[in-house]
Structure 1
Amino acid sequence: MLFDNIKELCEKKGVSVWKLEKDLGFSNRSISKWNETDPGIRKVQKVADYFGVAIEDLLE
């Protein structure tokens, strides 16, 4: 669910997941792996800040 919400925000903003990872200094494909593993709260907060949304919006 988290990855799907991030992917949807990327599409709305015209940003690829790869670019998001690069802009935030994350390793390649790290966000894609969030379908299988739980990221740390700091990384989720960075993504939320990038898009100007609350963490809760990413987790719904």
Structure 2
Amino acid sequence: MYKKFQDLLVKNDTTPYRVHKDTGISTATLSDWKRGRSTPKVDKLLILSNYFNVPLEYFLEEETTKQ
């Protein structure tokens, strides 16, 4: 999931900090995702999908292929 998130950051010329400020998702949460300490819950993925204007499935597809 985080790879797709990073791709969207580059594509939209933004930073995790800006995403945090705009969405309310903490930087610690984003960092935990990056380090693999936790995985995002669907409610957070929905926030990100709305923020980046991509379908929720954009994030979910990768999650199902990892299993």
Task: Give TM class, smaller chain.
Answer: 0.7 to 0.9
The 4+ residue runs of structure 1 with deviation greater than 4 A are none
Unaligned runs of 5+ in 1: none
What does residue 57 of structure 1 align with? 58
Structure 2 unaligned spans of 5+: 63-67
Normalised to the residue count of structure 1, the TM-score between the two structures is: 0.82
Check whether the contact 1:22–1:28 (CA below 8 A) recurs between aligned residues: no
Taking structure 2 as the reference length, what is the TM-score of the superposition?
A: 0.75
Question: Alignment length, in residue pairs?
Answer: 59
What one-letter code is carried by the residue in structure 2 that aligns with 1:19? R
- CA positional deviation for 1:20: 0.6
Relative to total residues, which structure has the larger helix share, 1 or 2? Answer: 2
Letter paired with 1:14: D
Larger Rg belongs to = 2
